[in-house]
Amino acid sequence: MTNTLPIRLGLTLWSHPQWQQTLYGRGTSVAERLEKYAQVFHTVEGNTTFYASPSPTTVANWKAATGPDFRFTFKLPKQITHELMLNGCEDLLNHFMQLMAPLHERVGLWTIQLPAVFSPAQLPVLQRFCRYFPADYPLGVEVRHPAFFHKGSDEKRFNQWLVETQADRIIMDSRPVFAALPNSDAIIDAHKKKPRVPVHAIATANRPMVRFIGHPEMVENDAFFAPWIQKLPTWIAQGKQPYLMIHTPDNQLAPELAQRLYQQLQQQVGLPDLPPFPGATADNQISMF
């Protein structure tokens, strides 16, 4: 894996007990899961930093578990993005970035995930906040307020600013999960928590991130992924390096879904094969055929 990868494939987390028999392998400890994960996938969403800042020891362990070509996409703490709404948080941001300093070279995107109440009227707050970052820090912004999706002047102004500052707009594709019947606790919970926003497949910078929230039935995802089989190679041909993050309602089969969709994408664009899952046997490797 190198930074010249055409695309980076990852999941929303690297530790899940249901992945023990396939992704990790028997006998893998919790502390070893990231190392096993990074043997297969190129990136991961760093959700843990949204809820709590890690200790310096944990940051060092994350670095030790991954190679120099692996990329994290850490979310900024919710205290900054959701509680303070980017106001008066320069000291908090500086503290967080200093804590994460050992991993700065392994960050593909610093993710600014904003709540649905953060409206276009607050765009100047976001613009001022982003000036705290050095120009070479890769930023991804995820908005959820409906006005950012109406294709009107508010969205155009937002997108233009992202292009000018070379920040990536994070794209949410939640169509698959909302197409699923609410017949399990995991799906009901996903319907409550996941944003149901239009899919605006726009690359405002060089690392467009697509968050694909899958249907629990593996085969049902194929139709929803079909447009991405066309769009992602277009971005790659333009010299961009997309980040494709795969979710499912309970994430139990997220590694297998990621593997399946990646194999489909390989039919359209030259991509290196994914390494086999460390814990999987030849009998339980997923194939699209």
Domains of the chain, first to last: 8-284 (3.20.20.410)
CA angle 161, 247, 187 (to 5 degrees): 115
pTM exceeds 0.85:
yes
| Whether the Cβ atoms of residue 209 and residue 109 lie closer than 8 Å to each other | yes
Q: How far apart are CA 146 and CA 258, in angstroms?
A: 28
Contacts of 189 (CB under 8 A, 6+ apart): 249
Average pLDDT across the chain, whole number: 93
73 — phi, psi (to 5°)? -125, 80
Rg (alpha carbons) of the chain, rounded to whole number = 18
- The percentage of residues in the chain with a pLDDT greater than 70, rounded to a whole number, is 96
| Whether the Cβ atoms of residue 140 and residue 46 lie closer than 8 Å to each other | no
Look at residue 283 and tell me whether its pLDDT is greater than 70.
no
pLDDT confidence bin for 25, thresholds 50/70/90: very high
| Whether the Cβ atoms of residue 104 and residue 140 lie closer than 8 Å to each other | no
Q: How far apart are CA 43 and CA 72, in angstroms?
A: 5
Stretch 47-56: mean pLDDT, rounded? 94
State both tokens at 164.
Answer: 């000018």
Residue 50 pLDDT: 95
State both tokens at 227.
Answer: 């447009």
Look at residue 95 and tell me whether its pLDDT is greater than 70.
yes
Contacts of 170 (CB under 8 A, 6+ apart): 109, 111, 113, 140, 141, 142, 209, 211
Stretch 48-71: mean pLDDT, rounded? 96
Residue 3 C-alpha from the chain's centroid: 17
Looking at per-residue pLDDT, the higher value among 83 and 46 belongs to 83
Q: How far apart are CA 44 and CA 46, in angstroms?
A: 6
Residue 25 C-alpha from the chain's centroid: 24
Contacts of 134 (CB under 8 A, 6+ apart): none
Residue 287 pLDDT: 42
Residue 281 pLDDT: 57
Look at residue 46 and tell me whether its pLDDT is greater than 90.
no
At 43, which amino acid appears? T
Read off the DSSP letter of residue 205: S
Closest Cα partner for 247 from 181, 174, 198, 191? 174
